[in-house]
Structure 1
């Protein structure tokens, strides 16, 4: 079990304990934190409290994170599009609408369910709910993901992400016409205090850098390629909105009137990394999905 401590700050005074703690880590849901409080995994000044406890400045919170639950992930034949596979790593092209890993509420139909059916040897570093998963892309983002099949590979791939040596290029259709051909967005990201399920640019957020290049301009839209230097939650979606060019079809960060597409027009098209065992650099490219290709054809016709 992992233990961590948090001291309540002035701006957290009066907030409920479950709200404060669920904001500390994007992986912790409020429901999960409430369960930890009930189970005695969270102490305030050495004492157990109720989930509606209101925090005071300098309260000392001790959080004991329990081991991942041994939930059975059901293997499912999902006809995954595997781009590469050996005994250490696997690269898969994720379709639109597929969630990467199971969570309470949706335990089936995820990429992990499909991976469990496809191969039995996935790394266990992240606990049973996320075997092999090194990085994620959003449910309605399509494209390439790397998966670790053992702990050695998992550690290597995570280190490459931390060291920013993984190549990750995305293609997107955004609202508005970007006048310049290249740009870099360097703006820290964190949870939106008004909506915990959204990210936004905040002064004390995590370092986040996105580079972009214009590929094609249309009357009211631009087709761009974005390269991630860091990989924060919703990074491209929030960064492009921040500079005034939100993604087409984005239900969370984009305008209501948009192109006819079910979710954001964002595709993880290029993925490159150093193979954990051979040391060789591997790079893969997946073509645009049909729905984004169709939108581009429509935009070209209406130009």
Structure 2
């Protein structure tokens, strides 16, 4: 793949400095150098330490990414919300794990995406999953289609620059129209899977807005300002409002839904390749829509 920039600075700098300004990491530069890529200045191959003086066209050619044989291929379909050269955004159904585990080795979303890449004949077959959802949470999952895009998204995630919005239905009535949970989350002492609010945990910040109230439940829109495991589920459960259908965190199991009532409905991030924000929406799945419409 080829990525090209114009050097608009008149201050002398090395090529690697310019590339770094555009999000190219040292690890990617190593792949370009040692695995068949190239750096071109005005069409001529150069090293990363080549000096620029202004006005040059700089091109980075990245090598093909061969798929990992340890990740199996699934022919099951995916629901594509958006795709271009750099990113694939998928609407994950509830009940499908994001990535393989011992109990779910071959039927995950990552397996399906690899199958899709192969069916399309894409040169890059490496599956770069950049956001994940719990198996029984539905909604948006973002895949980077090459190493460069993955490193850029990683940087945005670490800087908390990505905006993820969820819709959840929780038990009880939340009286405040807008609120925050600012409580650290860590692993529960009695479970490998379960998390809990604990002073020894990592800082975790969740923001919510009430969408609709019923006598026994509340529909909320939720934004994560950090990315802890089970964060939404843990914070609402700790506040006395566990998600409907969430057996792990003692949510009501007789409310008309057989999984936690949680859906990632919106994703927004800065796309440097398009030069603008990229915003994607995922429609509500039928089980959540019925839960909201019938109450």
Fold in common (TM above 0.5): yes
Match of residue 48 from structure 2 = none
Q: 1:206 to 1:279 in 2, by over 3 A?
A: farther
State the match for 1:272 in structure 2: 268
Segments of 4+ moved more than 4 angstroms: 120-124
Query: Which shifted more, 251-260 or 75-84?
Result: 251-260
Unaligned runs of 5+ in 1: 1-69, 125-130
> Per-residue deviation at 1:87?
1.5
Distance 2:277 2:101 in 1: 33
Q: Which has the larger radius of gyration?
A: 2
- Any conservation in 1 of the 2:171–2:252 contact (CA below 8 Å)? no
Q: Does 1:213 align with 2:205?
A: no
Greater mean deviation of Cα atoms: 87-96 or 273-282: 273-282
CA distance in 2, matches of 1:106, 1:88: 28
Residue in 2 aligned with 1:7? none
Q: Does 1:93 align with 2:96?
A: no
Residues 193 and 233 of structure 1: CA distance in aligned 2, closer, same or farther (over 3 Å): same
- Seen in structure 2, the aligned counterparts of structure 1 residues 202 and 71 have a Cα distance that, compared at 3 Å, is farther
Give the match for residue 254 of structure 2: 258
> Hey, what does 1:242 align to over in structure 2?
238
Query: Structure 2-normalised TM-score?
Result: 0.73
C-alpha displacement of 1:296: 1.0
Matches within 5 A, 1:21-170: 72-119=70-117, 120=122, 124=126, 131-170=127-166
SS, match of residue 143 in structure 1: strand
Structure-1 separation of matches of 2:146 and 2:210: 38
Partner Cα separation in structure 2 for residue 161 and residue 123 of structure 1: 23
Residues 1:175 and 2:171 are matched in the alignment: yes
Aligned residue for 1:203, secondary structure, equals coil
* Alignment CA distance shift 1:206-1:239 (3 Å): same
- TM-score scaled by structure 1? 0.71
Give the Å deviation of 1:195: 1.3
Aligned residue pair count: 224
> What is the alpha-carbon distance in structure 1 between the residues aligned to residue 110 and residue 72 of structure 2?
9
